[in-house]
Homo-oligomer: A and B are copies of this chain.
Amino acid sequence: MWRVEKKKGWMMALVIVAPELDPSPWTAALQAVDPDLDIRVWPNHGDKRDIEFAITWNHPAGELLQYPNLRCIASLGAGVDHLLRDRSLPKGIRVTRLVHPLQTLRMTQYVLMAVLNHHRSFERYRERQAERRWSQEEIVTCSDEVNVGIMGLGNFGVDAAAKLTQIGFHVLGWSRTEKRIERVQTFFGDDQLNAFLSQTDILVCLLPLTPKTTDILNRHTFEKLRPGAYVINVARGEHLVEEDLLDALDRKHLSGACLDVFRAEPLPPNHPFWHHPRITVTPHIAVGDHPSLVASQIVENYQRMKANKVLLNQVDLKKGY
């Protein structure tokens, strides 16, 4: 019935539902791609029946049920865990995520920076600088003797693996299903997780957040890593059991960690990570928002939806990524 009425004059509109974000750069970037788009910004969505396409980041649970003509939900990021944790998500709606090569490069840059700062003792040299102390490391470990283990071999994991290999690291990869990647020693599934961990000196978490990967960085995982291992989490805060990290650092089994994501963001001021001498905290900046970069991808999917075409970067809702 709504189809008939729609033809009689409803608007076809998009809505941005992202309570934490300033929507104006997004609206501007989308309109720069197509000035004719009718873009609404939650909570000022106008007639809810107009909305066919929702662009979301941490939307209020249940909100998307309010749009009777919704056909597609586009995540404003590479992850869709923020969407899928809404149990009242309307059924039968296609979900897409953003995958842009420049954003992948930004993630790779962050991973390289964290790996290199650890491998090349950057922070130790900065401490010595503060003491005006000229002192070279006595033992120089070449990077080909260091195993970087990447958990998650999607766009981000594969690109980071390639670039780390190119600058001399030996790279291992672990994923849920089997993957083969040139010059990377790959492992998959629960059965091979321990074999992967037991050879890893620097662990990089680039997994999607799903029920199966929640809390995967825990005391059992850390115990399997090589002594003195270093942990980098650039995926989601919920991957990490925070107390287990603190404990493994206290016991010196881990030498340090670099974290960009946290269970609570912003990280609360009294959180022990802030002042821990061996934890580097950055405020979820590994990739960052780039409205002008990705707006064309969103508009492309909006047009594909209207033309009933296959969407770009559609999420498998069963897998969760």
Q: Which residues of A contact B (CB under 8 A)?
A: 102, 105-106, 108-110, 112-113, 116-117, 119-120, 122, 125-126, 128-130, 132, 134-137, 140, 142-144, 163, 166-168, 265-267, 269, 274-275, 280-285, 288-290, 293
Contact = CB atoms under 8 A, between A and B. Distances in A.
A140 B289 contact: yes
B135 A283 contact: yes
10 contacts: A105-B143, A109-B119, A112-B116, A113-B117, A113-B120, A125-B283, A128-B283, A129-B282, A140-B290, A163-B166
Given A137-B285, A283-B125, A285-B137, A142 B293 contact: yes
A202 to B, nearest CB: 13
A288 B143 contact: no
A102 B283 contact: no
A127 to B, nearest CB: 11
Contacts of A167: 105, 108-109, 112, 163
B283 A136 contact: yes
Nearest to A285: B136
Contacts of A168: 102, 105-106, 109
B109 A120 contact: yes
Nearest to A101: B168
Contacts of A129: 274, 280-282
A183 to B, nearest CB: 14
A294 to B, nearest CB: 12
A137 B285 CA distance: 8
B282 A125 contact: yes
Contact of A280 (B116, B126, B163, B266): B126
Nearest to A290: B140
Complex A-B, nearest 9 residue pairs according to Cβ-Cβ distance, in ascending order: A134-B266, A105-B168, A113-B116, A132-B274, A140-B288, A134-B283, A129-B281, A125-B282, A132-B269
Contacts of A137: 285, 288
Contacts of A110: 120
Given A143-B105, A168-B109, A284 B136 contact: yes
Contacts of A285: 120, 125, 136-137
A110 to B, nearest CB: 7
A170 to B, nearest CB: 12
